[in-house]
Amino acid sequence: MNANDPFVLGGVSLTSRLFIGTGKYGADSLIPAVAEASGSQVITVAMRRVDKPAPQSGGSAPAQGSPGIMSHIPGHMRLLPNTSGARNAEEAVRLARLARAAGCGDWIKIEVISDTRHLLPDGYETAKATEILAKEGFTVLPYINADLYVARACAEAGAAAVMPLGAPIGTNRGLRTKEMIAILIEEMDLPVIVDAGIGRPSQACEAMEMGAAACLVNTAIASANDPVVMARAFGEAVQAGRNAWLAGAGFVRGMAGGAEASSPLTGFLR
């Protein structure tokens, strides 16, 4: 973590540029250790998994020894509730409002997915939801395809950052959209947070080296044999990549500038 290089998002200053998730763990009780090892300060949670008291439950209690997921999230972490399950803008907006009403704060990660085969986000509906929620005072982080036009639409709609996917969600395939992410980093004034598909710390490091503001990693940590050690690896990799970007990589001599030609094309100028 680098206190001299804060990541300011939604008016909040963060020292870690790794965001983590809460899904797919063998036990929610792993979350505190994962969070600590990763150094992360932001954690996303699906509203569909968040317990809320049933209004007419007659005092129904969780199953014995089954505290809700929220009880495992360290108090110092900033919650990033997400709208998993929403298939259009209206549903995403409803879930965001529910999250705020449930005390999860004003940050919201917009997920609008109406294709359960590939789980690719719907850019048009995402931008619509972003506009509505930004006007309501949310800090909106839309999960999008690595698409410049969608990113711009979300920026115009009031997003605090954009979260392009590196590869289809859950695949651990790495930065398959690297070229497009590079364009977003180059073109967007908003922070670019690479979300989905990152499978290894080296890939997170690469995203940060490119100039991504942060990475969100869930499956790669949760599905590791040792999630805590993997979380630490990701935390270190993200920091290393960030440091590399700050340092400015040295010039890489490419093929065109490689060997000195014995008969240079511009020799006639001598």
Partner 1 sequence: MKTFQDFLQNWPAQRRAEAVEKATEEQVFSVLNKNNLQPEDFLTLLSPAASPHLERMARRAHELTLRFFGRAVHIFTPLYISDVCTNQCRYCGFNAKNKQPRHHLSVDEAAAEARAIADLGFQHILLLTGDARHLSSPQYIADVARRIKPLFASVGIEVYSLTTDEYALLVDAGVDSMTMFQETYNPELYAWLHPAGPKRDYAFRLNAPQRAAEAGMRSMGVGALLGLESFEQDAFATGLHGWWLQRNYPGMDVSVSIPRICPHEGSFDVPHALDDRHLVQYVTALRCFLPRAGITCSSRESAFMRDHLLPLGVTRVSAGVSTAVGGRVTEDAHNPGQFEITDGRSLDEMTAALRGMGYQPVLKDWENPASAC
31 with 25: CB under 8 angstroms? yes
Q: Between residues 169 and 213, which has the closer beta carbon with respect to partner 1?
A: 169
Pattern 197-226, binding to partner 1, x per CB under 8 A? ----------------------x--xx---
What's the rounded Cα separation, in Å, for the pair 194 and 174? 10
The answer to the question of residue 266 lying near partner 1 (CB under 8 A) is: no
Query: What DSSP line would sit under 61-117, residue for residue?
Result: -PPTT---GGGGS-TTSEEEEE-TT--SHHHHHHHHHHHHHTT--SEEEE--B--TT
Residue 109 known to be catalytic: yes
180 with 146: CB under 8 angstroms? yes
- Residues within window 22-41 making contact with partner 1, judged by CB under 8 A: 23-28
The answer to the question of residue 83 lying near partner 1 (CB under 8 A) is: yes
The answer to the question of residue 156 lying near partner 1 (CB under 8 A) is: no
- Residues within window 63-82 making contact with partner 1, judged by CB under 8 A: 63-66, 68
What's the rounded Cα separation, in Å, for the pair 226 and 201? 14
Distance of CA 263 to the CA centre of its chain: 51
Catalytic residues: 109
Interface residues with partner 1 (CB under 8 A)? 23-28, 47-51, 54-66, 68, 83, 85-87, 90-92, 94-95, 97-98, 101, 114-117, 119, 170-172, 219, 222-223
